[in-house]
Chain A
């Protein structure tokens, strides 16, 4: 089963909508609550990174009997140093975004902790691609 969602950069009031929708869809399948929780957390963090850091993006969901694979592709500033971005506490979030409680630099580490495979790549100045896979 495949689904696609559009994510608008900077739109914090809609932020989280796509991942919330996917969560309610996968709940209808025979997937353990623990897996659903992990998937929902990883997708929320990834979606909010597009909202907080990029201009716009899309999320492609591929749901299979034994795994879920979700790919986020955005147009935005991209990431100069992937290793650094993966460090707990590293954040380039603006003051405005920080005031809302984003910018702990915990999002990417949270994604890593909650999925089985994570692939992050980026072309600075163009955009970012993040692939998340969770096995059932």
Chain B
């Protein structure tokens, strides 16, 4: 089965906050960082970005880098105006109660077919 965002949402128990109609995207890898310029420099197109940042500049960064989705961890609340700008920029915002370590670990295992 193709591992698209829908698949990751189900496997990791994520909540989709923005970009509902873009969940057929198939992510290629992921990057964990809370530093925006680090993401701009190092993340690659179609990656999932795992972060605790939840303010509106993350949308600009995801759009600039054409990332597959942002996963906001630790149940951080993302404001409605941020979600609106995500929708209009074509940015998928997912949310989880778990921390970055757990999220990245699970994502890694699924992306690279590692049994746990």
Contact = CB atoms under 8 A, between A and B. Distances in A.
Interface of A: 12-13, 15-16, 20, 37, 40-41, 44-45, 48, 100-107, 109-110, 113
Contacts, number: 56
A37 B66 contact: yes
22 contacts: A12-B56, A16-B57, A41-B65, A45-B40, A48-B36, A100-B36, A101-B34, A101-B36, A101-B51, A101-B53, A101-B57, A101-B58, A102-B35, A102-B36, A102-B37, A104-B37, A104-B38, A106-B35, A106-B38, A109-B41, A110-B37, A110-B40
- Interface residue SS majority, chain B: helix
A48 B65 CA distance: 16
Contacts of A48: 36, 57
A100 B57 contact: yes
Nearest to A51: B57
B55 A41 contact: no
Contact of A40 (B37, B51, B64): B64
